[in-house]
A and B are shown apart, each in its own frame.
Chain A
Amino acid sequence: MNALYSLLFVFLLVLIPLFGVDAAHLRTFFGVCIPTTAFIIFVVGFVYKVITWGRSAVPFRIPTTGGQFQSFDPQLFKQNKLDCPQTGAQTFFRMVLEVFAFRSLFRNTAVSLYEGKDYPVVAYKSSKWLWLFAITFHYSFFIIALRHLRLFLEPIPFFVKGLEFVDGLLQIGAPVMYLADVGLVVGVLLLLGRRLVLPRINYISYVSDYFPLFLILAIALSGIYMRYYAKVDIIAIKELTMGLVTFHYVVPETISVSFFVHVFLVSTLMVYFPFSKLMHMPGVFLSPTRNLPNDSRAKHHVNPWNDPNIKAHAYADYEKEFGVPMAEAGLPLDNPENGIPKDKA
């Protein structure tokens, strides 16, 4: 049901620019006003959220350790530097692998129960499907986003050109098919399929889990449609996008409606981004269980709201309360008077 709602909503989003541009002729509105506004909301929302996180304190170092810590004898007990970092550099590499290789997800296992010969068995097997789907999706998305820089920069930077070359290396079809385009569509479909098919994952999925997947799928398909089927006027589009960047707004007449659909969907994604789970993108960098070295037994750290007025129950009070039996048991007392029973004192 949640998936269906999301799908319908994305359809609706496609219809808006179709009517808006074709019927209502709001070309400047959809070509300039919407994307500019969306971009501003994206940046402001994104920054606001990250600042909100940043203002929240990190009182304690609480890394989840995934291996042997740095022991008193590093030769005898070899430290797992990546999963149990103790220095800034080690932590940096842990984060690099986390961000670029999804290392924690790579560890994933699947549990199953079955009747063994003599006793029931709980079995665990490595399960890298989610890792594979996620990495396909994210890298494809990332490469496509970078490729789009050619529309916003003049001259086109060398790395964008290089990326395009590598991405189209297989040279299938004309125009050359990009691997990342395939990766993105396949990745989204796999992630979507997982949510639809696996009962447990389906159970935990909201509209807000399906919606971004359908939205990104629609963005990818509209992009592919423009490039491979509609063969839109790319020169005109670059005129428009460069206009956006340089604040000299132009909306050439030769740009077809499919472009406006694409841009409208991307704008929706930008607006949606800061208010949604998509913020896991900046969030992964800030996670206190991953981005801190495991060194709080070795080094002093400060909790900004530590309350110095909280003190241990005083020993003096303890001795006052238990002094008599302590004295009888022969335990030493700080104040011998505490050891004298009250009726004798």
Chain B
Amino acid sequence: MSDIPKADELFKSIDYNPPLTGWMETPVDFSPGHWCYPAKPEKIAYMDKKLPGLWGTPREWVPSEEDWKLPANWKETVVNGFRERLKKFRSLQLFMDICVRCGACADKCHYFIGSGDPKNMPVLRAELMRSVYRGEFTLAGKILSKLTGSRVMEENVLKEWFIYFYQCTQCRRCSLFCPYGIDTAEMTMMARELMHLVGLNTNWIMEPVSNCNITGNHLGIQPHAFKDIVDFMVDDIEEVTGRRVKAPLNEKGHEILFITPSGDVFADPGIYTFMGYLLLFDYLDLDYTLSTYASEGGNFGSFTNNESMKKLNAKMYAEAERLGCKWILGGECGHMWRVIHQYMDTMNGDNQWSGMTTPKSPITGTVFDTAAATKMLHITEFTADLIKHNKLKLDPSRNDHLRVTFHDSCNPARGMGLLEEPRYVLKHVCNNFFEMPPATIREQTFCCAGGSGLNTDEIMEIRLRGGLPRGNALRYVQEKHGVNLMACICAIDRATLIPLADYWAPGVAISGTHELVANALVLEEGEVRTMDMRQEPLPGFEDEDDDWTPPNMEDA
């Protein structure tokens, strides 16, 4: 990150005035830092065996070089694929035809706000595709050419697609403001499907996709290692709470299968959220199991094509059937929930086994009809219901050292409408809760700029630029209310918001919602805790006899 400008320098470099050259004539910057690394050939080769014909030829190639080693018939493949998808997706066909370029979306994209690059205006990002649609498929476009914004498919056009459709996180903020609901996420998904057909892809997406298929999770954690990690977390929970929790893995005959993104198992601070789930379930004596085979809720397939999205999602129902689970509880994850909420039952509902039932909380008896088709419940819905029925003894003062704000993850917010449940949970587990400005939260929330497989370090400057709107809103509540923690319900957020906050609002930490639930959860009468889930001392609850200093407090 050494060559990334300081925050205020970067801010000053943003210019919203478009260049003097038209967008078709403005050259694209292919220098390193503007693209994610292409996929390793073996990852492509593996997926091509599983879902043949969708991935192009596996090969080594570098975007900064002139020759991208495209297959000889690449143009035909892309144009035919385009034509096929116009029939398969009314959204694509319609969004190609009806945009009036009113510009309402232009300043809604976080990448545009942070970069000023006109091709990051959703209208122009989509024009990269529309221009080809007009030039290849419409009579008017064929006759009238550039004046009406049409062009034919050429190598530099495809290369431009690669740069800019991997600079869209499919957050859908533009879609909210569009008078016709044109959704750039849909177009990005289609453009990526087409690019995959000729082997233009990124490793940060393809490696997770192939890992998810082999090991069940995107990090490639093998089952025994997964168990080690969970055991480790069980130890840590005991260290903090004195309670040895159960963490059933791959066990048959339980009512509920719990699936969360594997980011929660692997990386700090997601692990504290995972510990929160484990502690909560043990407290409730919930009849559930985890699975190493279905150990990833995040669906990286949705960043490649429909087929892999379906294939990776199908694992959840397959495992529920094998283990005999009646319904599935899902952890805190963004795009996992967009896939579950909008796609899962349509794609895989027929694969559900007959024993699945509408989720019903065994603790409160609440039947969740809203999940009657997928049989899958969001953890904040589950916990909010528990809190409402007074089933949790909570001591929010244990979170008094935290001044908390909430980051709505794009997918649950704009692809689901899950806005109130996490807030309800947070407000019951901490006393200091503050909202960021209205134009940056709820359905208007800003992306972490690392979604849809872009949370990779080789494009860090692009991510930090895209993170400006979120980071600036965070800085606002940091200055105004002393906020020092941003909670969220997405594992990618928990990974990407950390460098973002360090850059734009230094001093704000990131957490999942259930980490704070675990902090506040009173396990038994008179329970004393001196540490939070991160094993840092709880101010006001210090143990006088304990002179142990946490490792990260030694210099304090």
A76 near B102: Cβ-Cβ < 8 Å: no
A312 near B314: Cβ-Cβ < 8 Å: yes
- Taking CB atoms, residues of chain A closer than 8 Å to B368 are 72
A65 near B416: Cβ-Cβ < 8 Å: yes
- Taking CB atoms, residues of chain A closer than 8 Å to B536 are none
Does B181 touch A at the CB level, under 8 Å?
yes
A108 near B373: Cβ-Cβ < 8 Å: no
Q: Looking at the complex, which one of B224, B306, B414 makes contact with A322 (CB distance below 8 Å)?
A: B224
Nearest B residue (CB) for A54: B90
A68 near B417: Cβ-Cβ < 8 Å: yes
Nearest B residue (CB) for A80: B417
In whole Å, how far is A188's beta carbon from the nearest beta carbon of chain B?
Answer: 14
In whole Å, how far is A228's beta carbon from the nearest beta carbon of chain B?
Answer: 30
A86-B417 Cα distance, complex, nearest whole Å: 11
- Taking CB atoms, residues of chain B closer than 8 Å to A306 are 310, 346-347, 350
Nearest B residue (CB) for A203: B18
B121 near A204: Cβ-Cβ < 8 Å: yes
- Taking CB atoms, residues of chain B closer than 8 Å to A204 are 23, 101, 103, 106, 118, 121, 123-124, 127
A310 near B311: Cβ-Cβ < 8 Å: yes
- Taking CB atoms, residues of chain B closer than 8 Å to A165 are none
Residues of B7-37 contacting chain A, CB below 8 A: 7-8, 11-12, 14, 16-18, 22-23
- Taking CB atoms, residues of chain A closer than 8 Å to B307 are 307, 310
Does B363 touch A at the CB level, under 8 Å?
no
- Taking CB atoms, residues of chain A closer than 8 Å to B103 are 130, 198, 200-201, 204
Does A113 touch B at the CB level, under 8 Å?
yes
Chain B 59-81 interface 0/1 with A at a Cβ cutoff of 8 Å (1 = within): 00000000000000000000000
Q: Looking at the complex, which one of A104, A124, A276, A296 makes contact with B342 (CB distance below 8 Å)?
A: A296
Nearest A residue (CB) for B251: A332
- Taking CB atoms, residues of chain A closer than 8 Å to B139 are 275
- Taking CB atoms, residues of chain A closer than 8 Å to B374 are 296-297
In whole Å, how far is A309's beta carbon from the nearest beta carbon of chain B?
Answer: 10
A297 near B439: Cβ-Cβ < 8 Å: no
B250 near A332: Cβ-Cβ < 8 Å: yes
Q: How many A-B residue pairs have CB under 8 A?
A: 334
Chain B 211-227 interface 0/1 with A at a Cβ cutoff of 8 Å (1 = within): 00111100000111001
Nearest B residue (CB) for A333: B250
Does B149 touch A at the CB level, under 8 Å?
yes
Does A2 touch B at the CB level, under 8 Å?
yes
B side interface size, CB within 8 A: 129
Chain B 341-380 interface 0/1 with A at a Cβ cutoff of 8 Å (1 = within): 1111111011100000000000000101111111010000
What's the dominant secondary structure at chain B's contact region? helix
B349 near A300: Cβ-Cβ < 8 Å: yes
A201-B92 Cα distance, complex, nearest whole Å: 23
Knowing A76-B388, A111-B107, A280-B180 are in contact, say whether A315-B94 is a contact too (CB < 8 A).
no
Does B532 touch A at the CB level, under 8 Å?
no
Does A19 touch B at the CB level, under 8 Å?
no
Residues of B420-436 contacting chain A, CB below 8 A: 420-421, 424
B89 near A57: Cβ-Cβ < 8 Å: yes
Does A344 touch B at the CB level, under 8 Å?
no
Does A5 touch B at the CB level, under 8 Å?
yes
Nearest A residue (CB) for B475: A119
Knowing A207-B147, A297-B373, A303-B347 are in contact, say whether A329-B227 is a contact too (CB < 8 A).
yes
What's the dominant secondary structure at chain A's contact region? loop
Does B553 touch A at the CB level, under 8 Å?
no
Does B481 touch A at the CB level, under 8 Å?
no
Binds B, one of A233-241, A257-265, A283-291: A283-291
A130-B186 Cα distance, complex, nearest whole Å: 25
A71 near B420: Cβ-Cβ < 8 Å: yes
A64 near B314: Cβ-Cβ < 8 Å: no
A107 near B176: Cβ-Cβ < 8 Å: yes
Does B138 touch A at the CB level, under 8 Å?
yes
A200 near B16: Cβ-Cβ < 8 Å: yes
A122-B109 Cα distance, complex, nearest whole Å: 13
B118 near A328: Cβ-Cβ < 8 Å: no
Knowing A297-B370, A308-B350 are in contact, say whether A71-B90 is a contact too (CB < 8 A).
no
Knowing A61-B342, A76-B424, A296-B346 are in contact, say whether A289-B183 is a contact too (CB < 8 A).
yes
Does A154 touch B at the CB level, under 8 Å?
no
A98-B256 Cα distance, complex, nearest whole Å: 41
A73-B369 Cα distance, complex, nearest whole Å: 10
A275-B144 Cα distance, complex, nearest whole Å: 12
Knowing A296-B341, A297-B370, A300-B349 are in contact, say whether A326-B91 is a contact too (CB < 8 A).
no
A331 near B249: Cβ-Cβ < 8 Å: yes
- Taking CB atoms, residues of chain A closer than 8 Å to B17 are 199
Chain B 83-95 interface 0/1 with A at a Cβ cutoff of 8 Å (1 = within): 0001111111110
Chain B 529-551 interface 0/1 with A at a Cβ cutoff of 8 Å (1 = within): 00000000000000000000000
Q: Looking at the complex, which one of B90, B311, B342 makes contact with A53 (CB distance below 8 Å)?
A: B90
B222 near A322: Cβ-Cβ < 8 Å: yes
In whole Å, how far is B172's beta carbon from the nearest beta carbon of chain A?
Answer: 6
B318 near A315: Cβ-Cβ < 8 Å: yes
B250 near A300: Cβ-Cβ < 8 Å: no
Does A155 touch B at the CB level, under 8 Å?
no
- Taking CB atoms, residues of chain A closer than 8 Å to B350 are 306, 308
- Taking CB atoms, residues of chain A closer than 8 Å to B5 are none
In whole Å, how far is A122's beta carbon from the nearest beta carbon of chain B?
Answer: 4
Does B400 touch A at the CB level, under 8 Å?
no
A277 near B98: Cβ-Cβ < 8 Å: yes
Chain A CB within 10 Å — which of B89, B366, B371, B381 has the most?
Answer: B89
A330 near B227: Cβ-Cβ < 8 Å: yes
Nearest A residue (CB) for B138: A275
Does A59 touch B at the CB level, under 8 Å?
yes
Does B391 touch A at the CB level, under 8 Å?
no
Interface residues of A (CB under 8 A from B): 2, 5, 49, 52-53, 55-62, 64-73, 76-78, 80, 83-84, 98, 102, 104-105, 107-111, 113, 118-122, 124, 130, 134, 198-209, 275-277, 279-280, 283-284, 286-290, 294, 296-303, 305-308, 310-315, 318, 321-322, 325-326, 328-332, 334
Instruction: Report 19 cross-chain contacts, Cβ distance below 8 Å, ordered by A residue.
Output: A49-B97, A56-B90, A56-B92, A58-B89, A59-B89, A60-B342, A70-B370, A73-B385, A104-B176, A107-B177, A200-B16, A200-B106, A201-B106, A276-B140, A296-B345, A310-B51, A318-B214, A325-B222, A332-B252
Interface residues of B (CB under 8 A from A): 7-8, 11-12, 14, 16-18, 22-23, 50-51, 86-94, 97-104, 106-108, 113, 118, 121, 123-124, 127, 138-140, 144, 147-149, 172, 175-183, 186, 213-216, 222-224, 227-228, 249-252, 292-293, 306-307, 310-312, 314-315, 317-319, 322, 340-347, 349-351, 366, 368-374, 376, 381, 384-385, 388, 413-421, 424, 437, 439-440, 442-444, 468-469, 472-473, 475-476, 479
